[in-house]
Amino acid sequence: MIPLRDAIPSHSFPAATVLIIALNVLIFLYELSLGRALEVFILQYGAVPLRFILAGQTEQVSTLERFLPLFTSMFLHGGWLHVGGNMLYLWIFGDNIEDRLGHLGFLVFYLACGLAAALTQIYINPTSKIPMVGASGAVAGVLGAYLVLFPHSRVLALIPILFFFQVVELPALVFLIFWFLMQFFSGAVAITATTYATGGVAWWAHIGGFISGMALGFLLPKRKRPQFQWT
């Protein structure tokens, strides 16, 4: 399912959301300019589970050097669809979370969810030597918070039906739970798949990010149900 927009208008300009999107796009364009040096760049700034685990067992690596890739990896992507999909979800759902948290609060929330997502994937697959890259875990946190804070919202989505696409209006609760279940079952299959050690999608980062976003969402005070509006 491809979300097109949600039904809750933003009451302030989502400056933090726009900043995050701009950074991701600019860094991806920089990746494209690296050519053969891209692999070294990804290895240096991507989050490698085994490297993180081993770094915790030696005094030669500082805390900053150990944890920095967990944050820098959130701004790296493996292709146009990867960065485009993540930024689309962030644009549609991020503004409402930023409305609730404020600009700085949203930045902290976003990075915290991304960190939780990376640590979840490392916990599930600690021996992997494959760099994790992408904003998916942090964006998943935004989706988790949206589910808690705006369960009665509605989402206009593009859904494939046989060989065609249909625009359908869905309850946000249905859309987001379906999204989460897709990640969960894909993650469960990935654990036993022979290709899990050689790369692919970090499904458990998505799951960890989503759950952390939900948990943080529950900590926020409840507000009056927002009015819906298609713009």
In this structure, what CATH number is given to the domain that contains residue 56? 1.20.1540.10
Is it the case that residue 16 has pLDDT exceeding 70?
yes
Q: What is the mean pLDDT of residues 169-180?
A: 95
pLDDT over 70 percentage in the chain = 91
Which amino acid, residue 155? V
132 has a pLDDT exceeding 70? yes
**Is residue 10 assigned to a domain?**
no
Is 4 inside a domain boundary?
A: no
Average confidence (pLDDT) over 8-24: 95
Please report whether residue 95 resides in a domain. Answer: yes
One-letter amino acid for residue 206 of the chain: H
137 touches 114 (CB < 8 A): yes
Domain that holds residue 184: 15-149+179-219
Determine, yes or no, domain membership for 2: no
| DSSP reduced 3-state for 14 | coil
Q: Where are the alpha helices (DSSP H) in 34-79?
A: 38-45, 49-55, 63-72
The reported pLDDT for the residue numbered 231 is 45
Question: pLDDT tens digits for 183-200?
Answer: 999 888 877 764 444 467
Q: Per-residue b/e over 31-57, b at no fewer than 16 CB within 10 Å? A: beeeeeeeeeebeebbbbbebbeebee
Asked if the structure places residue 88 within a domain, the reply is: yes
pTM of the full structure: 0.90
Query: Is residue 110 a part of any domain in this protein?
Result: yes
3-state class of 22 per DSSP? Answer: helix
In a domain, 155, yes or no: no
Distance CA 32, CA 35 (A): 7
pLDDT of residue 55: 87
Look-up of token digits 């798949």 = 193
Residue 224 counted as domain residue: no
Q: What single letter denotes the amino acid at residue 97?
A: I
Structural domains counted in the chain: 1
Per-residue model confidence as pLDDT tens digits over 37-53: 999 999 999 999 999 99
